[in-house]
Amino acid sequence: SGLLGIALAYMLGQKIQLNRGEWSVVVIIGICQNALYLAFNFIAMQWIEAGLAAIIASLLPLVVAVVCWFFLGEKTGFTGILGLVAGFGGVLVIMLDKLSGSSASLGMTLCLIGLAGLAAATLYVGRMMSRNKNVLMIVGLQMIVGCIILFPFSLIFENWNIEWSTSFILAFLYTTLVPGLLGTLIWFYLVRRVGPVRAATFHFLNPFFGVLVAALILSEPLSVMDGIGVTIIMAGILLVQMSRRQIANSD
């Protein structure tokens, strides 16, 4: 994903034009978003269910809002707080009935560390995107940073045995192109356009889309609770967007 992103960026006329401070931010984003968040979540799901990992990851908007409020002075009004709580409540409605009740402290700890990494990356993305417009180039570079960090660990803890199949190749291509490159690019643009808090609220939708994809591809049934949950989530996202606009207008 990183190499492809850089190649496409060059084709679009984007250059690697970063000062020392911007390079530092790219490195931090690469470490936090790829080496911490993605890697730790993949590892954690050896011990905990994907649903529990999704619930923990959905705390991102709340964490980002708290950090922005106390450390950056960006306040979230009552409507926004209500929206954040509603969004997370919607996630719980969707996911709680899908958990078997088993959990492992190590897996949950890794997910929480990954969550902290993603929150930090989100804030640094907002800082970086306000200064540099070469979004696709930055997306590719931070992925390369994550690769460099994780590669030595993969040599130590993983092996090179791959069971090649059509399913594996399709899954690899999909992961590389859609969530890897396209998803990250949209995420960076969204943070630049609406800010970290408003962008982070869309993470509330991740569990629902996971359930929806499982229904479409794996024929897993959708329940009434899924519909109720996504309705609550959409209402929460709307409240947060309205709250941030109200604060901007009052300023």
pLDDT band per the 50, 70, 90 thresholds, residue 170: very high
- Residue 30 burial by Cβ neighbours in a 10 Å radius (0-12, 13-18, 19+): buried
Tokens linked to 85: 């709580």
Nearest Cα to 110, choosing from 31, 38, 60, 28? 38
Question: What span, in angstroms and rounded, lies between the C-alpha atoms of 143 and 6?
Answer: 10
| pLDDT tens by residue, 114-167 | 999 999 999 999 888 877 778 999 999 999 999 999 999 989 988 888 889 998
**Cα 38 to chain centroid, rounded:** 8
Domain boundaries, the chain: 2-250
Q: Residues 30, 145: contact at Cβ < 8 Å?
A: yes
Q: Residues 179, 19: contact at Cβ < 8 Å?
A: no
Tokens linked to 196: 């970290």
Note the pLDDT of residue 181: 93
| pLDDT tens by residue, 63-118 | 998 888 887 777 788 888 899 999 899 888 887 776 666 567 888 899 999 999 99
Note the pLDDT of residue 102: 58
